[in-house]
Amino acid sequence: MTSIGIIGSEGRMGVALAAAISEAGQRSCGVDKGGNVAKLAADADVIVDFSSPAALEATLDACTAAGTPIVIGTTGLEERHHYLIDDAARDIAVLQTGNTSLGVTLLAHLVREAAARLDADWDIEVVEMHHRMKVDAPSGTALLLGQAAAEGRGIDLATCSERGRDGVTGARGHGKIGFASLRGGTIAGDHDVIFAGPEEMITLSHRAENRMIFARGAVRAARWLIGQKPGRYTMPQVLGLSEQR
């Protein structure tokens, strides 16, 4: 039986993860703020972290010291967090993603394929809506989908995106990838990637009905990650999908 450690086990995602781990017939253990992360990393076969960017460095240090692989689903990461992840991945297996849903993973693959085949005359807009309590925008999933579109086009998302339009912004930039974020209610996560071309439009969509989809995907990723060599891994690899890097 695999032992899966949960960072933030009493939070909404932590509770969902514990349920998904039990559903899969595996054993869970966990800590919350102030808990002994080092002991958890030493006792578990793999760690899953959906907690907060502020807690990530300590968790990575504990996992590296224990030689324990980790799945990181925390969103709102900054550039320095990715440096920390890259550093840890020299010693342990790390899977970091903006979304652990298997459906979103496949959606990103389809977005990448569509963007590669539709030229810049097709405008790309990523629209996401989440519950009123979400603190970061665009969502990690929106950024994941935007990155997939950018990879398909062979462009740099950081320099080719438009966000937060307000007032007289001027015409939409040719070839840019746009983002729009909506907040309200208790929505677990809705995402649309719109390809708007001359006189036609394609929309690729995903609707999250319950956060259990993220928990189940994370459990599948965690079990897959056990035994992998040190390095940085992605959800498409869990599903056996080819991915541009």
Query: Is residue 165 pLDDT above 90, yes or no?
Result: no
In angstroms, the CA 80 to CA 204 distance is: 32
Output the pLDDT for position 133: 92
The pLDDT of 108-127, averaged and rounded, is: 97
Q: What is the pTM of this model?
A: 0.82
In angstroms, the CA 231 to CA 88 distance is: 8
For residue 19, what is the DSSP state? H
Residue 127: how many CA atoms within 13 Å on its side-chain side?
11
Per-residue pLDDT tens over the stretch 191-232: 999 999 999 999 999 999 988 999 999 999 999 999 999 999
As a whole-number percent, the residues of the chain with pLDDT over 90 amount to 89
Q: Could you say which of 109, 130, 176, 191 is catalytic?
A: 130
In angstroms, the CA 185 to CA 34 distance is: 31
Which of these, 238, 240, 242, lies nearest to 223 by C-alpha position?
A: 238
In angstroms, the CA 103 to CA 43 distance is: 31
Per-residue pLDDT tens over the stretch 43-70: 999 999 999 999 999 999 999 999 999 9
Query: Is residue 234 pLDDT above 90, yes or no?
Result: yes
Per-residue pLDDT tens over the stretch 119-132: 999 999 999 999 99
Task: Show the CA angle centred on residue 237, arms to residues 234 and 239, nearest 5°.
Answer: 120
Query: Is residue 17 pLDDT above 90, yes or no?
Result: yes
- The CA–CA distances, whole Å, from 168 to 124, 125, 165, 222 equal 20, 19, 8, 47
| Mutual angle of helices 79-88 and 53-66, in 10-degree steps | 10
Residues in Cβ contact with 54 at an 8 Å cutoff, skipping those fewer than 6 apart = none
Output the pLDDT for position 241: 87
For strands 200-208 and 189-197, give the pairing: antiparallel
How confident is residue 33, by pLDDT bands cut at 50, 70 and 90? confident
Q: Are 20 and 213 in contact (CB under 8 A)?
A: no
Concerning whether 229 is annotated as a catalytic residue, the answer is no
Q: Are 238 and 105 in contact (CB under 8 A)?
A: yes
Per-residue pLDDT tens over the stretch 174-188: 999 999 999 999 998
Concerning whether 39 is annotated as a catalytic residue, the answer is no
Per DSSP, the residues of 162-221 read: E----SS--SPPTT-EEEEEEE-TT--EEEEEEEEETTEEEEEEEEES-THHHHHHHHHH
Element (H, E) at 93: strand 93-96
